[in-house]
Amino acid sequence: MLAFVVRRLLFGVAVVLGVLGILFVLFFQVASPDDIARRALGEKARPDSIEQWKANHGYDRPLWPWQDFEDNLLFHHYSTMLSFDFGASDVDGAPISQRIREGAGPSLALTVPAFAFGLGLAVLLGLFVAFFRETYIDTTGVFLCVLGMSVSILLYIIAGQYLVGKMLRWFPISGFDADPAVLLRFLALPVLISVLSGVGSDVRFYRTVFVEETGRDYVRTARSKGAGEVRVMIRHVLRNSLIPILTRVVLAIPFLFTGSLLLESFFGIPGLGSLTIDAISQNDFATLRVMVFVLSMLFIIGQIATDISYALVDPRVRLE
């Protein structure tokens, strides 16, 4: 078990280094410092002002170690990122670390409830539909799921803001507040939309998992010893489906973020999503780099956590 964890952690470290490598190639090689400077200053910027901009923002080193072993962007990129010294924004020079710290709270305020509600609802609905497999409830359920999956999240947001915010005036359309009571009203709609937009594909996925499990021999055994259908579903099928559910949950975490990427910007929530979108619109490569790195780190940690929790859920993994 310990050997497994250590091996998994080492692989995680390698992947983090790999992600940094990809980022370097993308943001220093494909889009070179000159390109970045030109995007910031405009296409017609004079060469000397480009050089000046590069010097100001720390892009004036050579790229590769073989050009200058002591002082190059590759080593600089790796060492700053790995020491979580994220530097300053390309646009306004504000410290990126501080912005991330400030943005994490609002982001979590949106994603955590959305995630919890969404997961609970999807698993419940999945069990429900799987329980009625091969009946019209099942067919209707699957149809609704596919329907839900075919709608762009943009449409969900726009329609939700229009219907609930403008026509019914139940919730405010956008905003954020530190006061929990006020915040609740601001977050209600984005959480609802987040749950709605994701629930279709989740329910369908869980249904497939559950239906597949209900066909297994041990389910027949459970029935043959007199267990009722509800008991079979919850004690046997759900328990055996935990691994695919767990995998899905971890894989959903970054998608959750991408959903909230739009949600945050639409609903004026000053979180990491808004930060990223601002970085895109302002060509703020420094911030973008850090965002990709930080979120990948979170994702990698999540993956490692899943792999280790497999061992807790599935006794078969423990031996390997």
Partner 1 sequence: MAPHVLSNAIVLLLLVAAGFALRFVRGNRMWRDALAQLWRRRRGSLLVIVAFLLVGLLDSVAWTGGQGQDALAAHEARTVIDRLFQGDREASYSAPLADAAFYGGDPLAAPGGHWLGTDILGRDVLHRTLKGARVALMIGGLTSLIAIPLALLFGISAGYFGRRIDDAIFFLISTLASIPSLLLLIALIMALGKGTWQVCLALGITSWVGLCRVTRGETLKLRELDYVQAARALGVSHGRILVRHILPNLMHLVIITFVLMFSQLVLSEAILAYLGIGVDGSWGEMIDQARNELSREPIIWWNIAAAGSAMFTLLLAVNYVGDSLRDILDPRTLRETP
Partner 2 sequence: MSAAIEVEGLEVSFPDGRWRVSILDGVDFRVEAGEVLALVGESGCGKSMTALGCMRLIPKPGRIDRGRVLLDGRELLELPVPAMRQVRGAEISMIFQEPMTSLSPVVTVGTQVVEAIRLHEKISVSAARKRVADLFARVGIPDPAERLDAYPHQLSGGLKQRVMIAMALCTQPRVLIADEPTTALDVTIQAQILELMRELQRETGTAILLITHDLGIVNELADRVAVMYAGRIVEEATRHELFRQPRHPYTQGLLRSMPALVAPGEPLHEIAGTVPPPSDWPAGCRFVDRCPRAFDPCAGPAPDFQMLGRGHSAACHALAAEPGE
State the nearest-atom distance from the C-beta of 230 to partner 2, in Å: 11
305 touching partner 1, by CB under 8 A:
no
- Say if residue 63 is exposed, middle or buried (CB neighbours under 10 Å; 0-12, 13-18, 19+): middle
205 touches, from partner 1, partner 2, none (C-beta below 5 to 8 Å by class): none
56 touching partner 2, by CB under 8 A:
no
Residues 169-208 interacting with partner 1 (rule: CB under 8 A): 208
Q: What are the Cα distances from residue 171, in Å, to 76, 81, 121, 190, 263?
A: 47, 40, 22, 10, 15
The answer to whether residues 209 and 126 touch, using CB atoms and an 8 Å cutoff, is yes
Residues 239-268 interacting with partner 1 (rule: CB under 8 A): 254-255, 257-258, 261-262
Element (H, E) at 237: none
The answer to whether residues 98 and 272 touch, using CB atoms and an 8 Å cutoff, is no
State the nearest-atom distance from the C-beta of 225 to partner 2, in Å: 4
- Cβ atoms within 10 Å of 150's Cβ, excluding its own: 9
Q: What angle do CA 167, 169, 171 make, to 5 degrees?
A: 130
Measured between alpha carbons, how far is 153 from 198 in angstroms, rounded to an integer? Answer: 9
Residues 204-243 interacting with partner 2 (rule: CB under 8 A): 215-218, 220-228, 235-236, 239-240, 242
State the nearest-atom distance from the C-beta of 141 to partner 2, in Å: 16
Contact residues for partner 1 (CB under 8 A)?
11, 14-16, 18-19, 21-23, 26-27, 30-31, 134, 142, 146-147, 149-155, 158, 162, 166, 208, 211-212, 215, 254-255, 257-258, 261-262, 276-277, 280-281, 283, 285, 288, 291-292, 295-296, 299-300, 303
